[in-house]
Amino acid sequence: MTLLRYNIEMFCIQTDTRYTEKLKTIISEKILTDHEDIFMPVTERMKKINGSWQKVLVPMFPGYLFASSDDPDELFQRLRTNLGKTIFRYVKLIRDDDYIIPLSSKDEQLITELSDENHVLKASLGYIKGDKLCVTDGPLKGREGQVVRINRHKRTAVLSIDFLGEKRNITVSLEVVRKEP
């Protein structure tokens, strides 16, 4: 008996932020096959709504969808054929003339390390000792050096990362439980 092995590659789809959710739904329902996935990584944030703190999900990279496929070029042809000219003009794949360029292993690793299996970057917990941030729990643990700004009032931190070939700042949830001298 021969086992089939799929070489799944992850790649990026850039779109207008107004159409990201709609495009994700259309692609997942009408275009993807069994060995393919499309997702939009989100960050879990705390927001004060009607006087109480509630968790909300915010896109980690607004205007970007990520897809995984064992044949990205064939998927691209299905996207072009099935989306139609109206929607397809809002889609941009990172590609060379002849083929779709997959995410680098570093970018793919970043997405998988920061987010869980549902592609959600959960809140982190930590404390401040002097001028130094110490993250005790969550995906930011070990990435304290990448935090460039903390807003204790809004319970957020800005994380500076290298992603898709450029420096990007993403706002993530960070609960600073105490401050020590």
| Model confidence at 17: pLDDT above 50 | yes
| One domain for residues 159 and 99 | no
| Model confidence at 152: pLDDT above 70 | yes
| One domain for residues 22 and 79 | yes
| One domain for residues 14 and 48 | yes
| One domain for residues 90 and 105 | yes
Q: Global pTM?
A: 0.83
Residue-number span of the structural domain to which 158 is assigned: 123-181
Q: Which of these, 123, 122, 176, lies nearest to 149 by C-alpha position?
A: 176
Q: Which of these, 77, 50, 58, lies nearest to 17 by C-alpha position?
A: 58
| One domain for residues 91 and 36 | yes
The predicted pLDDT at position 4 comes to 43
| One domain for residues 108 and 159 | no
Q: How far apart are the C-alpha atoms of 128 and 131, rounded to whole Å? A: 7
Query: Distance from first CA to last CA of the chain, Å, rounded?
Result: 64
The predicted pLDDT at position 6 comes to 53
Taking only the tens place, the pLDDT of each residue in 55-93 is 999 999 999 999 988 887 788 888 878 877 666 666 776
Of 88, 121, 154, which closes a domain? 121
Number of domains the chain is built from: 2
Taking only the tens place, the pLDDT of each residue in 116-146 is 999 999 999 999 999 899 999 999 999 999 9
| One domain for residues 100 and 160 | no
For residue 30, give the 3-state DSSP assignment.
Answer: helix
| One domain for residues 57 and 145 | no
- Residue 138 Ramachandran class (φ > 0 left, ψ -120 to 50 alpha, else beta): left
Q: Which of these, 128, 138, 13, 130, lies nearest to 67 by C-alpha position?
A: 13
CATH number at residue 102: 3.30.70.940
